Structure formats: structure tokens, C-alpha cells
Amino acid sequence: MKNIILIVLICLFALWGGNTEAADSWNSPDGQFGRTTVTVSSVLAPQSGNFYGARSAFDGNPSTAWVEGVDGYGVNEWIKLAFGSPMKFKSLYITNGYAKNNDVYLKNSRPKKIRLDVDSGQSFEHTLSDTSASQIIILPLAVSSTSVKLTILSVYPGSKYMDTCISEFTADFEEFNYQ
């Protein structure tokens, strides 16, 4: 009987948290500018009661983070925001790294150089500061898009972990999208 329970638990773990390379997606509640779907290329398996999926980068809480789940530093891993209708924006906000506290921030890797792609085919590269404070990314021109995808091109290495983290990522719709 113990062996059967053990086999069932191992199978459940493999289905629930063992696949660190599977993409994750989360739909925000409807807000002032509609719903945003957040999708990520990979996710680190939950650890010590912490979950690192797509929702964690769009929950307004810098003490949580999306953590990519591939071997190495997560170069070419991505997070994508998709909107229910085309939205015009020129600014994006990011809280780089795992901003839970300074110790956790420094132990984990953070994106350094990123590429932002919008569905119109435009791409913008940007170098982020190595800080846990919220940063604004101002695009050279306003875009109208149904999505924006952030791809990690290089990182600031963590002192202990290779896992690359983003605590918050969002677009600023307020400048252009009031009716």
C-alpha cells in the first residue's frame, strides 16, 4: 500500500511541478483597459511555498516574481503581455530581478539587456539598470499593438542562483487610451 501511495505522489509531483520547461499563462481580471493575458516561456517549479509563474510578474506585488525554468541564465526566455484589443503605448514598467528583499535580489540573476517585440513587427532593445526599483522603459515611438513580448538577451548574474527573475512587467496605457 505504501508503494502505491508513493508512486501516486511521484506521478502527481511530475504532473504538477516537475515540468519546469512548460509555458505558463494567466489572465488578469478585467480592468480599466480590459484583460491582459500574461504568458511566459518557462517557469521554475514551486519551492518553499513560492510560485514563480506568469501571474507573479503582473500581480502588483514586487515581493513575487516570474522565474524562468530552464538550465543556465534564461537567455532567450520571454514574458509576453497580450491585450484584448489593440492598445497604444510608449512606456513600459519593469521591476527587475526578484525584488522581495536585497539579499534575494542579489542571489538571483536579473535581465540586463532585453528585446521588446510588438505584433506590428517592431523591435526595441533596451539595457536595464541593475536595481530592484521600478524602471520605466520609454520606446522611441508610440506603438499600437495587441501584445508586447520581452525577451532576455543577457543578464546580471546572481551571487548564488542562475535563475533569472522579473518581479513586475506592465505597459502604461494611461497616456493614450482614455475615451
Each residue's pLDDT tens digit, 57-96: 999 999 999 999 999 999 999 999 999 999 999 999 999 9
If you average pLDDT over every residue of the chain, what do you get?
Answer: 88
Each residue's pLDDT tens digit, 21-68: 448 998 888 888 889 999 999 999 999 999 999 999 999 999 999 999
The single-letter DSSP state of residue 161 is -
pTM for this model (two decimals)? 0.85
Question: Does residue 156 surpass a pLDDT of 70?
Answer: yes
For residue 50, the tally of other CB atoms under 10 A from its CB is: 14
Smallest Cα–Cα separation from 43: which of 68, 64, 18, 26?
A: 68
Contacts of 93 (CB under 8 A, 6+ apart): 134, 135, 136, 137, 168, 169, 170, 171, 172
**CATH for 20-172, among 2.60.120.260, 3.30.70.3270, 1.20.58.710, 2.60.40.1180?**
2.60.120.260
Ranges of each domain in the chain: 20-172
Each residue's pLDDT tens digit, 97-142: 999 999 999 999 999 999 999 998 999 999 999 999 999 999 999 9
Q: What is the pLDDT of residue 33?
A: 83
Q: What is the pLDDT of residue 7?
A: 36
